[in-house]
Amino acid sequence: MKLAKIEWIKFWKRKVSWILLALIPLLVFVSAKYILQQNQLFSPDTPQYAVVGNFPVLGLAEMLMTAFNLFIIVIALLMVTEEYRTGALRMVFIRSHSFRKIMFAKFLVLLILLLLYLAIYFLTCYGIGYFLFSNPEVYPQFYHQRPFTFIEGFFYNLKFYGVAFLTLVAISSVIFFIGILSHTMTSAFGISVGYLLLCFAYPNFIQLFQPILREETIFKIYFTSIPMIQWEGITLLLAETPHYKGWIVLILMSHILLFQLLILFVTRKKDIFI
């Protein structure tokens, strides 16, 4: 916990940290302006029509798979890969801390930061939403027959952000592993972005095989991609009758467990990273 506290202090001493924090209200505002334009294409009785109650979800959907995943890359590279280049990580080793403890502290701080950013995004969505969107007594929700009240929508939004955080933990595990293996910022950034691009590409490519593969098989392959779970899977998971719930949870947990085990494996000897 002392290491985590030190990592927390170190992170907020960087200008980039405050820039990322300042970007959150801007991202919410950009999403709000875009969704206001999209409202003209939908009627108020459709789930795509944004109101105060559902804007936190609609406003997060695209930013979750783009901005927040990029946040993870930036934070992970700052906390791990940059310290290879600057020699800061070697200075920590001199104090006889194990490499595993150092990496665990860094990963813990990364998760706390993501939780903080999500909480700020959530509250900012409600704040901006009250000024820009209508606030009807009830509104339709994705994959729910009965309309939601504001309070029901609030708890639905909390669940959505909870699952969204779980997807970020899964992505963080992958990116953190890449960051540990990469000793240069260029290679770490290139591999991380390449991983995200691959996750965007193959789910769309697999749909070309719909004539020869079962629909269920297509969807299961589609939802092996964490960004696709962020894009569509969360709403299916929280539907009145959940779709692919077990599969989506399995994919998220397997990503987290697999890459955490890989991190433990590659950090078994600290001298290979000095």
Question: What counts of helices (H) and strands (E) characterise the chain?
Answer: 13, 2
Residue 212's pLDDT is: 84
Q: Taking 60 as the threshold, does the pLDDT of residue 106 lie above it?
A: yes
Mean pLDDT taken over the chain: 90
Task: Give residue-wise pLDDT tens across range 201-214.
Answer: 999 899 888 878 88
Contact 174, 255 (CB under 8 A): yes
Both structure tokens of 171: 């992505």
Per-residue pLDDT at 53 exceeds 60:
yes
What pTM was estimated for this model as a whole? Answer: 0.93
Task: Provide the pLDDT for residue 95.
Answer: 53
Q: What is residue 149's three-state secondary structure?
A: strand
Going by their DSSP bridges, the two strands 138-139 and 148-149 should be labelled as antiparallel
Question: Is a pLDDT exceeding 70 seen at residue 194?
Answer: yes
| C-alpha span between 52 and 139 (Å, rounded) | 10
Residue 70 tokens read as 């990029």
Which of 90, 71, 55, 80 is CA-nearest to residue 21? 71
CA dist 211 and 218 (Å) reads 10
Q: pLDDT, tens digit, for every residue of 157-176?
A: 999 999 999 999 999 999 99
Q: For 112-139, how does the pLDDT look when each residue is reduced to its tens digit (9 = 90+)? A: 999 999 999 999 999 999 999 999 999 9
